[in-house]
Amino acid sequence: MTTRINVLFSFLFITIFLNIFSINQARQHKNPSSSSSSSSSSLPSSSSSSPSSFLVLALTKSSVSLPTPNSQIQERIKKPLESSIGAVMEPLREVRDGYLITLNIGTPPQSVQVYMDTGSDLTWVPCGNLSFDCIDCYDFKNNNLKSSSTFSPLHSSSSFRASCASSYCVEIHSSDNAFDPCAIAGCSVGMLLKSTCLRPCPTFAYTYGEGGLVSGILTRDILKTQTREVPRFSFGCVASTYHEPIGIAGFGRGLLSLPSQLGFVQKGFSHCFLPFKFVNNPNISSPLILGDSLLSGNLTNSLQFTPMLNTPMYPNSYYLGLESITIGTNVTATQVPLTLKQFDSQGNGGMLIDSGTTYTHLPDPLYSQILTSLQSTITYPRATETESRTGFDLCYKVPCPNNNLTSLENDATMMFPSITFHFLDNAALILPQGNSFYAMSAPSDGSVVKCLLFRNMEDGDHYGPAGVFGSFQQQNVKVVYDLEKERIGFQVMDCVTEAVSHGLSKVREQQQKSSIF
């Protein structure tokens, strides 16, 4: 999700932070980051370092050199590239805090893995001729979550810096007058009005939730997918960040987003996220499909669709309208505040659906009502020590015979109450069992602790979305973004089976080959 941060704060912090002389765009993406001292088998809590510990004096700036635009390069883009291909399928690799997509950029191609994020537009990659600096990323590095590759513009013969004539430059600096950044860079008013200014696009800044920040150069280069090529893909070449160890592929509805530049902004995309137990498993990937073939009638008949809500504050984000939540077999659903299905006069409200936010966030008093309803129906003993350690508000010690977690998951008598989200247009999504309570560690002494992986929105000023539907609650659910009809569809399914059907499971392939002999 993108929001603007305070202009004065941005100016003071960024100027000291990276010595940037002209910063006219700053956005905030609500993506609660996570840190944990537990083992890789358990999910991390959502606590993070305080935004006050910016370590400003310890910052360094890497030098990135890119060719500047020349008169032969025409960068003015009138409209996104139209796609003549029915669909593009890309694998998503699951890591602790999200799902990674591989981008092949440059000549020759350089492969960089970045987060797939439906809550923002900009695509950026770790970039530098020698190194990529991530400030205050110790928690991420200690959990083996760090950038495994960077993009080097000097090693790409087709890389060049975007100019002020590019519509993408206007988009990245759209928080102010679109002419201002390039006027500072030395372009005349006449050149700006004619979009003929070939001065380099000024450095941009982009901020994310929990104090994350990136700053870099808007760059153009060849992007290659399995089935198509974008000759002048626009992305951020970022050499230094704060609290953002891995690049991001923005999947919002704006001009800069990956679907838009691939030509699918008027069509759509879908994903089927594998469960967290497949984190860092190299043998299977979640399927991501872009294009209009996924929207054919026979494929959408089994989905439940709810309309996208549009807000002028965040026109490129995906919002849903939540009407109620049902716990277990209760006849009476828990009603939600109006702010979760409509916007106020400033554009605040609605429920953001965001793959870049791990856990679903609900506002009070709704969040407290959900906890109370669950407590009244669950009889297991509370695991208060785990609650204190992880920050999750509802954890239980569940019997696990023979310490066999697999048999526990298949035991209907040990299930937790179901949780159903009721969206606008009678679209109901019953969360799979693994999408609400999750085992925080391996079973021991015949029991295992499971916690409810929801969060309190904790937004006292009611700025931005009223709630967020996170990626954890989207596991084993096919989610379809129908951008042409402005609706989002849900269908609960086994995403392992879906991955196998798209040839994304090496384990199943090996099993099939071995069964032949």
Catalytic-residue membership of 117: yes
Q: 192: left (phi > 0), else alpha (psi -120 to 50), else beta? A: alpha
Confidence band for 385, pLDDT divided at 50, 70 and 90: very high
Mean pLDDT of 157-167: 92
Given this model, what pLDDT does residue 177 score?
A: 66
From the list 117, 121, 136, 139, the catalytic residue is: 117
- What amino acid is encoded at 240 in this protein? S
Position with higher pLDDT, 289 vs 59 = 289
Model pTM? 0.81
Residue 314's nearest CA partner among 461, 455, 468, 180 is 468
Burial class (CB in 10 A: 0-12, 13-18, 19+), 329: exposed
337-354 pLDDT, tens digit per residue, is 999 999 998 889 999 999
Per-residue burial over 129-153, b = 16 or more CB atoms within 10 Å of its CB, e = otherwise: eeebbbbbbebbeebebebebbbbb
pLDDT above 60 for 44: no
From the list 97, 121, 354, 482, the catalytic residue is: 354
Spatial distance between the Cα atoms of 101 and 86, rounded to a whole number of angstroms: 20
Contact by Cβ (8 Å): 455, 360: yes
pLDDT above 90 for 330: no
Angle at 364 between CA 363 and CA 370, to 5 degrees: 95
pLDDT above 80 for 209: no
Q: What percent of the chain has pLDDT over 70?
A: 73
Given this model, what pLDDT does residue 411 score?
A: 64
Per-residue burial over 425-454, b = 16 or more CB atoms within 10 Å of its CB, e = otherwise: eebebebbbbbbbbbbeebeeebbbbbbbb
Given this model, what pLDDT does residue 13 score?
A: 41
Catalytic-residue membership of 364: no
Domains 88-286 and 295-502 agree in fold: yes
What fold, for 88-286? Cathepsin D, subunit A; domain 1 (2.40.70)
Average pLDDT, the chain: 78
169, containing H or E segment: helix 167-172
pLDDT above 50 for 34: no
Given this model, what pLDDT does residue 129 score?
A: 64
Q: What percent of the chain has pLDDT over 90?
A: 46
Residue 267's nearest CA partner among 249, 294, 307, 287 is 294
Spatial distance between the Cα atoms of 410 and 132, rounded to a whole number of angstroms: 45
What fold, for 295-502? Cathepsin D, subunit A; domain 1 (2.40.70)
Domain residues of the chain, as ranges? Answer: 88-286, 295-502
Q: What is the DSSP letter of 163?
A: B
H helices present in 289-411, as ranges: 297-300, 366-377, 384-390, 405-409
